[in-house]
Amino acid sequence: MRQKCSVLRDLGAASTVGPFELGRLPGRATRSVASELVVEPNIEVLEMDKQDLQEAAHDPLVRAVAPVMPTRLITPVPLSGEAGPATEGGHTWGVAAVGALDSEATGAGVSVAVLDTGVDADHRAFAGMDLVQRDFTGDGNGDRQGHGTHTAGTVFGREVDGTRIGVAPGVRRGIIGKVLDDQGSGDSDMLLKGVQWAADEGAHVVSMSLGYDFPGLVERLVSQGWPVDLATSSGLEAYRANLRLFDALMDLLQARAAFGHGTIVVAASGNESRRNENPDYEIAASLPAAAEGVVSVGALAQGGDGLTIAPFSNTFPQISAPGVAVLSARTGGGLVSLNGTSMACPHVAGVAALWWERILAESVPHTATTVTARLLAHADTGGIAPDVDTADRGVGVVRAP
């Protein structure tokens, strides 16, 4: 049986790993000359069978192979009851909670990519910006769904109707990859090519509020007549291979930093947990947030004793940010409040842009590794309610320099 597979190659260096093994620079733990190699990731989709996979395993340039999987936006979650005010005196509560109001940094000189459903480039939140857009879905540039406009507004949106919505409003260059179509769906090929494109465009930060759709893949196979156990097994194999492929891509991007500033990739942990139904109903962070080298983000809400974990937020994120009652840009104009780790992720991406501005002005290595270290080291737990589990909120709430 033939299937569509994403093939990741490093055109700048040979490798001997198998296609379904964790791709790394050859012997990263023992080899010290990685910085001497020209790292050149390349992703293509091929129709492959078992014989093709065997041949790929012996191709020295192939780092990983994975079946193409469906992806989808991380759907905002409606919450009943009081979610707290979305604004506080001319700014959103999230902008204040991450310390952006008190920071001298604005994101000036930093490029940020948002991989989502596109963006409403005519929205006043993006007035005066240089928006570099590319559509990977075939639906054309622009955001008819609304998710991408909202997340981009939180990262670098300008003031709208007297309200500051953006964490890093000094960012002038936004790199907008439309990797989800107008219905909020896509596939792993679109996403992987979007990540590569954003890095090639010089993005300092990549923000991704989306996930791999494992249940959707299994349902599709079952609808095609596959037995449930076979469909589940095949879906699990595809998910595992895609995790390894994303690990390999992140590894290549990290090695590429030897030749430039590198790229921080930030992703939402997912909204599948249901703590409001059962405290033990917790789902771990999903792909791509679960990939090695990706900064995974959980969602926080305002509470009487401090910030609390949102009931839907997947567990084991690295860091957390406001994700409930987040006010940001609405497609067509104006503002809208949404809930989700999708809303938390761009807060972290925006703060990463602020840290990039600070690092670029200091006499320290101007690399993604340096910025990521600052981002995680300066996370704060002081404002988080004492009963919030460390596994649910990571190192704490992200904080601006």
Q: Which residues form the catalytic set?
A: 116, 147, 342
How far is the CA of 93 from the CAs of 81, 146, 391, in angstroms?
18, 21, 24
CB 316 within 8 A of CB 291: no
Distance of CA 367 to the CA centre of its chain: 19
